[in-house]
Chains A and B, each alone.
Chain A
C-alpha cells in the first residue's frame, strides 16, 4: 500500500532532520576528541 503524503512528510521531517542533527552532533563529538588527541603544535605546521 502506498504511503500517504502526511505520513511521508512527517517521516521525512523526523528521520531527515533528526538524522542530520544526530550525525552532525556525533561529528562534533568526534572532532572535539580528535582536537584533543592531536593538539595544534606550532613547530609541526608548514
Chain B
C-alpha cells in the first residue's frame, strides 16, 4: 500500500522533476508577454493568448502539443491549413476604410515603398546564413502585418513561426517608439513643417465597391500564389462597402475575428516550446525583424522625400513613414510628429491614405513574393 501511495505521489511531482532550464526560461518569457499585453496593453488581443499558450506548452509532462493535445488540435485546425490568418484577413478587410487611399491614389506608391524592408531584410537574412525559405519568412516581418507573416511562415518555415510571429506583433506595437527617431533623422526641419492641403474630394460608393474587385482580379492575375491573402482581405472590404451584408460584415469583424484571434494566439504560443524556441536563430530573427521595420520606415520616408521633390514641396515626407501595415497606428505617429513641428499641420488623412496603402502593399508584397518564388521553382507551382 505504501508503494501505491508513493507511486501516486510521484505522479504529483513528475512535472517538477521534468522541468528543465529551457522550460523555466520560456515560462518567464510567457510571463513577460502576458505582462506586456495586460499591463502595457501592447497588442493585448494577441499577446495574452500567445503568452498563455507559451506557458501551457512549457509545462512538462502535460504534452499539450502532443499528437492528441488540445493545442495541437487547435494548431492543426487553422495554422496547418492556413485558415486562421485568412479568416483574420476577412475581418481586417471588413474593418478597414480604404477611402483615404482612394481619395488620393498616389499614396498607393507610399504603401509600396513601405515594403522595401521585406526584401532588404531577406537579403540580410540570406547573408547571415539562413535558408532561402527561412529568409523569406524572416523578411516578411517587414510587412509589419501579423497575419501575412503567419501565413507565409506557417506555409514555408513552420519551425520559425513562434519567433516570426512574436517579432511581428511585438514590433508592430512598438511602431510609435521605433519610427519617430528615424523620421526626424531623415527629414529636415523645413520638410517636417510642410503643410499639406485637405484630402480633396470624397469617394463614390461605386468606386469603393470596385476597388476590392479590381484589386482582387489585377493582384490575382499578377500574383496568383498570394490570391488567398488578397482575396480574403478584399472579400471583407467588399462586404463592408456593398452595405448589403451587414450581418456577415459584423460577424467577420467581431465574432469570427475574435474566435480566430484566440485560436491563432494560442497556436503561436504553442510553438514556443523551450527546446525549439531557445536558440541563437531566435535572437537573430528578433534582431532582423527590428531592422526590417526600421528599413520600412527609412524607405517610406525617403520615398516621401522623393514625392516632396517631384511635387515641388507639396508633400510632407513624414507621411511616407505611414506606408506600413500597422493601421492606424503609423498614421497617428505621423500626425503627432507633424504637429510637433507645426501646430497647424493636419497630416492624419494623408497618412491614413498611406497607411491603408501600406495594408494593401504588405499583402500584395507577400503575394508577389510567393509568385516570384513559384516562378523560380523555389516553391511548388
Contacts and interface: CB of A to CB of B under 8 A. Distances in A.
16 contacts: A6-B126, A9-B122, A9-B126, A13-B123, A17-B116, A20-B365, A21-B113, A23-B219, A24-B109, A27-B108, A27-B218, A34-B210, A35-B103, A35-B207, A40-B201, A40-B203
Contact of A27 (B105, B118, B119, B375): B105
A20 to B, nearest CB: 4
Interface stretch (B7-15, B281-289, B332-340, B356-364): B356-364
B223 interface: yes
Contact of B112 (A24, A32, A39, A46): A24
Contacts, number: 127
Contacts of B202: 40, 45
Interface residues of B, number: 51
Contacts of B113: 21
A35 B203 contact: yes
Contacts of A38: 204, 206-207, 210
Contacts of A29: 105
Contacts of A21: 109, 112-113
Nearest to B377: A3
A30 B201 CA distance: 17
Nearest to B205: A45
A41 B204 contact: yes
B368 A20 contact: yes
A5 B287 CA distance: 21
Interface in B105-131: 105-109, 111-113, 115-116, 118-120, 122-123, 126-127
Interface in B331-381: 357, 360-361, 364-365, 368-369, 371-373, 375-376, 378
Contacts of A25: 108-109, 112
B102 interface: yes
Contacts of B108: 24-25, 27-28, 31
A15 B371 CA distance: 10
Given A12-B123, A35-B204, 15 more contacts: A8-B132, A15-B375, A17-B112, A17-B115, A23-B222, A23-B364, A24-B108, A24-B111, A26-B218, A30-B214, A34-B207, A35-B103, A35-B203, A35-B207, A38-B207
Most interface-central of A11, A20, A27, A30 (chain B CB within 10 A): A20
The 7 closest A-B pairs by CB, nearest first: A28-B108, A28-B105, A19-B368, A38-B206, A24-B112, A40-B202, A24-B108
Interface residues of A, number: 34
Contacts of A31: 102, 105, 108, 207, 211, 214
B215 interface: yes
A20 B376 contact: no
A21 B116 CA distance: 10
B325 to A, nearest CB: 13
A32 B219 CA distance: 17
A20 B299 CA distance: 14
Interface string B182-195: 00000000000000
B306 to A, nearest CB: 12
A15 to B, nearest CB: 4
Contacts of A12: 119, 122-123, 136, 369, 372-373
Contacts of B373: 12
Interface in B137-153: none
Nearest to A39: B204
Nearest to B372: A15
B181 interface: no
A5 B243 CA distance: 48
Contacts of B102: 31, 35
